[in-house]
Amino acid sequence: MKDDYAEKLTALADDVKNPGLAIRERQMVEISNLDQAIRTAQRQRQEQAVGIIKEYSDKMKRMVNDMDTELETAENTNMNEKDIKKKYIAPMKDENTNVRNVCLEQEISLVEQTESIISEFESRYGDLRAASADLMESYFRDAENAENVYFEQASALINELLEQFGNDKLPDDVTDECRGLLADREVLLNSCATSHDTHLSKLLTVEEGLRNRGNQETLTLIKKYKGIEWERNRNAIMEVRKLHETHAIAVTAAYDAWVEKYEEMFQDDDDQY
């Protein structure tokens, strides 16, 4: 009876092993696809940002060159400091602010896209988690049924032996240990019932442990990717702001350098940038 019970549990485990491994493989594919989708979105955003900043840098160089050229020939024009600020400095500041805003808008778009990707992954991975849970539940219900059958068989055997013991008809090959157990009917029956309850409790404990571990794994996985995205977004925003501040300082420094270079031209203009 014990061998049959063990073989039944082994067969049940074999039945769920390959389907379980197949589900796990699909889960790993989903994780890989998530990584790839997020990297692709980030790479596209980075390429866009690089293009925007390059375009901005090229425009700034042209404006600087145009300003230098115009200042060098200012003696033949009516250009003054206010004109320079209006024609070059203000547009430079506006371009710098525009680049910051565009980059921040791109970052917002990337955050929304990443959230959508993670949400889609969470749904797909959740479906696989549910399939795994269903498979696991099927195994444990079948294992409980096997335990119930074993308990019924053991109970029937005990009752049969108790009847034989009471009628003094036990087979000669029954051991003294067995006769000692049969001598206390209530203890024997209670021990059998307790063993059955212990087996069921053990199955339930293992099932709950596996279910909780699977759910926690999913929660930890989602939390991990959301945490990584939050950190990336935070760093990206700080980088955009720092870039804006750096360019603003550069524009001011360039203007101060031009004023110093052409000090005589602007010496009568007290308006400060």
Q: Express each pLDDT in 16-74 by its tens digit.
A: 999 999 999 999 999 999 999 999 999 999 999 899 989 888 888 888 787 777 766 65
Structural domain includes residue 45: yes
Give me 198's structure tokens: 């212990």
- 137: containing domain: 2-266
Position 248 pLDDT exceeds 90: no
For residue 162, what are the contacts with CB-CB under 8 A and spacing of at least 6?
182, 185, 188
pLDDT of residue 270: 46
Position 127 pLDDT exceeds 90: yes
Structural domain includes residue 82: yes
**Rounded Cα distance, 226 and 220, in Å:** 10
pLDDT of residue 271: 47
- pLDDT tens digits along 172-211: 888 888 888 899 999 999 999 999 999 999 999 999 999 9
Rounded to 10 degrees, what is the CA torsion of 234, 240, 244, 249?
70
pTM of the model: 0.77
**Rounded Cα distance, 46 and 110, in Å:** 10
**Interior CA angle at 175 toward 169 and 180, to 5°?**
80
3-state secondary structure 47-108: HHHHHHHHHHHHHHHHHHHHHHHHHHCHHHCCCCHHHHHHHHHHHHHHHHHHHHHHHHHHHH
Structural domain includes residue 122: yes
Of 183, 190, 153, 191, the closest CA to residue 166 belongs to 183
The separation between CA 175 and the C-alpha centre of its own chain, rounded to angstroms, equals 61
The dihedral through the CA atoms of 83, 86, 87, 90 has a sign that is positive
From residue 153, alpha-carbon distances to 39, 40, 160, 196 in Å are 59, 61, 10, 12
Provide the domain count of the chain. 1
Structural domain includes residue 271: no
**Rounded Cα distance, 93 and 174, in Å:** 101
**Rounded Cα distance, 54 and 61, in Å:** 11
Structural domain includes residue 57: yes
Structural domain includes residue 171: yes
Position 87 pLDDT exceeds 90: no
CB-facing half-sphere around the CA of 23: CA atoms within 13 A: 19
Structural domain includes residue 25: yes
**Rounded Cα distance, 140 and 147, in Å:** 10
Place of tokens 């400091």: 81
Decide: 71 and 147 in contact? Cβ < 8 Å.
no
Give me 74's structure tokens: 């200012």
Place of tokens 């049959």: 4
Give me 95's structure tokens: 């371009």
Strand locations in the chain (E): none
Structural domain includes residue 273: no
Question: With bands split at pLDDT 50, 70 and 90, how would you rate the model's confidence at 85?
Answer: confident
**Interior CA angle at 267 toward 265 and 268, to 5°?**
105
